[in-house]
Amino acid sequence: MEQKTDSLYNQMLEPLIAHFESYLPLKESEMQLLEGRVTQRKIKRRQHILQEGFPCKHYSFVVEGCFKMYGVDQKGNQHNIQFAAENDWIADIGSFHSNKSSKLFIEAIEPSLILQIEQQDLYFLYQSIPKLDRIFKVIIENKFVELQNQVLQNISSTAQERYAAFLEQYPKLALRLPNTQIASYLGITPQYLSEIRNERS
162 domain-assigned = no
* Residue 52: domain span: 6-129
pLDDT at 99 over 90: yes
Q: What is the pLDDT of residue 47?
A: 98
* Residue 5's pLDDT band (cuts 50, 70, 90): very low
pLDDT averaged over every residue in the chain: 92
Strand ordering across the sheet containing 58-64: 39-43, 112-118, 58-64, 89-90
Q: What is the pLDDT of residue 111?
A: 97
121 domain-assigned = yes
d(CA 167, CA 36): 37
64 domain-assigned = yes
Burial bucket for residue 17 (CB in 10 Å: 0-12, 13-18, 19+): middle
154 domain-assigned = no
Q: pLDDT for 26-73, tens place per residue?
A: 999 999 999 889 999 999 999 999 999 999 999 999 999 999 999 999
Q: pLDDT for 122-140, tens place per residue?
A: 999 999 999 999 999 999 9
178 domain-assigned = no
For the residues 74-89, what does the mean pLDDT come to? 95
Q: How many domains are contained in the chain?
A: 1
* Residue 7's pLDDT band (cuts 50, 70, 90): very low
pTM of the predicted structure, to 2 decimals: 0.90
61 domain-assigned = yes
d(CA 182, CA 44): 20
169 domain-assigned = no
Alpha helices, DSSP H, located in 39-158: 93-98, 119-128, 130-156
92 domain-assigned = yes
d(CA 173, CA 66): 9
Q: What is the pLDDT of residue 90?
A: 97
Handedness of CA 134, 138, 139, 140 (dihedral sign): positive
d(CA 18, CA 124): 20
User: Which CATH number do you get for residue 59?
Assistant: 2.60.120.10
Burial bucket for residue 64 (CB in 10 Å: 0-12, 13-18, 19+): middle
Q: pLDDT for 149-158, tens place per residue?
A: 888 888 889 9
Q: Of 96 and 154, which is predicted with more confidence? A: 96
Residue percentage of the chain with pLDDT more than 70: 95
